[in-house]
Structure 1
Amino acid sequence: MLLTTFLCVIATGVYGQGLDPEISQNLLSLIAEERNLRLRLETEADKLEKEIDALTVARQNATCGCPSIYTTPIAFTATLGHNINTLGSEQPIIFDEVTLNIGNAYDVRHGVFTAPFAGVFEFTTAVLNRPGYQTELELVKNGVAMTKVVSGDNGYYTMGTNAVALALIKGDEVWVRHPAASDSNLINGESTTSFTGYFVGV
């Protein structure tokens, strides 16, 4: 700007009385050219700034700069602290001893995990049974059985376990229940029968 003003002053003859008309015209042309170049540079600078912003967003997405909800850890582990001797048909198992509940997605009051956002989650359930009994449990999603675990043997305590990965949307519910058909209506607690789940990714 200072250079332009200086050239304008010279070209208009304020400080250069009797300046050659051709030189004056050349100076005015240079001023106009400098002004056009400055406008073009400002336009290009604006375009470059927008491109940098777009590249920054693309880089964040490519390096899992995903929404903050997806970086929130979700994990829980709960065990059954007591024996159950009278399991009913499709009775939910309420794992009442919570040792981990990051994100508070597991509700100890009902034994239900509720997905706080969409993504893939992995769940594991394990059941211990007494000698001479066999028990089956189901891990269900919104009331539909996704996988089953069976435990039982004539002469020994036995542990059955199973795991499943589920694609959930926000609000989906997952829990463990006793199915309608099972050889016995009891399971062993004492912190041995468990329900675990955690967020895997999007």
Structure 2
Amino acid sequence: MSTSVNIRFLSIDKSNKHHPSIQIDPITSSGGCKSVNKTYRMAFFAGLGENKGQIEENIDLVFDKVHTNVGDAYDKQTGRVTIPFSGLYHFTVVIAAQGGQKAAAMLMNNGTMVDTIWAESIPLWATSSNTAILNLTSGDQVWLVLLKIAPYIHGYMYSSFFWVFII
């Protein structure tokens, strides 16, 4: 009978304060460290360029003003993040509503709701945010759905979506 052990050593290189990188080195069952020499730098930040209004049904929300897409996991056409490798990810969503309107979105993971963000601008303006820390697997997809019950989301970068790979 043999036993296999899978252990990974994580190191963070902070020599470049603007772009710290993470290196994961697997340790073999014989105790030796086998470096894979890969740097995992993953981050995304985008905002909504224009206002959204009345919709007939819930729709995927696409943030079209992409400012950061390190690792190219965010698809600007679909609004979906496809997770490149398994790990822990941090997502934050900010939505804004104005003029007495309501805006609501759901953060989705592979078709399952993770959380909801709701902004109701009484009397004139409101922003709301929510954060999720998710343990995801390579190939998982994360995106936002704009809800038809509150579709008046304010654009012009007042509404935004970002994520970063933690470990």
Normalising by the residue count of structure 1, what TM-score does the alignment of the two structures yield? Answer: 0.64
Contact 2:104–2:153 (Cα < 8 Å) also in 1: no
The offset of 1:85, in angstroms, is 1.1
Q: What residue ranges of structure 2 are gaps of 5+ in the alignment? A: 1-6, 12-23, 27-35
Alpha-carbon deviation of 1:157? 0.9
Asked which structure has the greater CA Rg, the reply is: 1
Q: CA deviation at 1:161?
A: 0.5
The alpha-carbon deviation at position 118 of structure 1 amounts to: 0.5
More strand by share: 2
Residue 200 (str. 1) matches residue 162 (str. 2): no
Q: Any idea what the Cα deviations from partners look like across 1:58-96, whole Å, max 9, x if unmatched?
A: 8x8376534455x31100001000111123433011000
CA gap 1:72/1:113 in 2 versus in 1, 3 angstroms = same
Partner SS, residue 81 of structure 2: strand
After superposition, where does 1:25-174 map in structure 2 within 5 Å? 61=9, 64-66=24-26, 67-69=36-38, 71-174=39-142
Following superposition, the deviation at residue 154 of structure 1 comes to: 2.1
Aligned residues: 140
User: For 2:25, what is the secondary structure of its paired residue?
Assistant: coil
Judging changes above 3 Å, is the alpha-carbon distance between structure 1 residues 88 and 172 closer, same or farther for their aligned structure 2 residues? farther
Work out the CA distance in 2 between the residues paired with 1:103 and 1:62.
19
Partner of 1:95, secondary structure, is coil
Percent of aligned pairs sharing the same letter? 27
The corresponding residue for 1:191 is: 157
| Corresponding letter in the other structure for 1:199 | F
4+ runs deviating over 6 angstroms? none
Q: Answer whether contact 2:104 2:151 (CA < 8 A) is retained.
A: no
Deviations 1:141-198 (A, max 9, x none): 0111101111013212110100001111111000011235x2x332110111111001
Answer yes or no: is the 8 Å Cα contact 1:111–1:175 preserved in 2: yes
Task: Report deviation, 1:138.
Answer: 0.5
SS at match of 2:9: helix
SS at match of 1:187: coil
Q: Closer, same or farther in 2 for the Cα pair 1:68/1:148, shift >3 Å?
A: farther
Q: Do the aligned partners of 2:97 and 2:103 also contact (CA within 8 Å) in 1?
A: yes
Change (3 A) 1:198 1:88: farther
Query: Aligned equivalents of 1:68 and 1:110: distance in 2?
Result: 32
Using structure 2 for the length normalisation, give the TM-score.
0.77
Letter in 1 for 2:43: A
In the TM superposition, what is the alpha-carbon distance from 1:135 to its structure 2 partner? 1.9
When residues 153 and 116 of structure 1 are mapped into structure 2, their CA distance, relative to the original with a 3 A threshold, is same
Indicate if the aligned counterparts of 1:118 and 1:169 stay in contact, CA closer than 8 A. yes
CA RMSD of aligned residues (A): 1.9
Determine the structure 1 residue equivalent to 2:143: 175
